[in-house]
């Protein structure tokens, strides 16, 4: 009985096992957070090192330093989310492939 209920969690429409939506979106969110933290930390470390100040052109020259961390956070979140999505899709396909071989 307990095995039957856990088996139902892995089934989407039809008889093909799929990755549950909560796991899928959890992996995606984990990718976003890891990218956010990694790029944010790298940008912060870059500014703290102070070896080379970011420069801008014309009117952006005096505020270029203020854009480094927010832009790094956005880029890290974007690519972290994309990598999390790719990992979740590959994991879902692996589950489906393994069940079809049995």
**56 lies in some domain:** yes
Structural domains counted in the chain: 1
Q: Are 33 and 80 in contact (CB under 8 A)?
A: yes
pLDDT tens across 2-61, in order?
A: 555 555 555 545 666 788 989 999 999 999 999 999 999 999 998 888 777 766 666 666
pLDDT the model gives residue 7? 53
pLDDT the model gives residue 45? 92
pLDDT the model gives residue 63? 75
Please state the pTM of the whole predicted model: 0.72
**10 lies in some domain:** no
Backbone angles phi, psi at 11, to 5 degrees: -95, 130
**14 lies in some domain:** no
Cα–Cα dist 51/28, whole Å = 35
Cα–Cα dist 17/95, whole Å = 7
What average pLDDT does this structure show over 83-95? 93
Backbone angles phi, psi at 21, to 5 degrees: -60, -35
**8 lies in some domain:** no
**58 lies in some domain:** yes
**16 lies in some domain:** no
Backbone angles phi, psi at 61, to 5 degrees: -60, -40
pLDDT tens across 73-85, in order?
A: 999 999 999 999 9
- Cβ within 8 Å of residue 100, ≥6 positions away: 16
**7 lies in some domain:** no
3-state SS, residue 102: coil
pLDDT the model gives residue 57? 67
Domain of residue 43, residue span: 29-101
**63 lies in some domain:** yes
């Amino acid at each position: 009985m307990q095995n039957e209920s856990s088996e139902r969690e892995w089934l989407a429409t039809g008889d093909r096992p799929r990755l549950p939506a909560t796991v899928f979106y959890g992996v995606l969110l984990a990718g976003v957070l890891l990218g956010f933290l990694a790029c944010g930390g790298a940008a912060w470390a870059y500014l703290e090192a102070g070896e080379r100040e970011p420069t801008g052109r014309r009117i952006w020259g005096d505020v270029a330093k203020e854009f480094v961390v927010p832009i790094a956070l956005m880029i890290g979140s974007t690519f972290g989310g994309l990598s999390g999505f790719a990992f979740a899709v590959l994991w879902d396909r692996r589950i489906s492939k393994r069940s079809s071989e049995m």
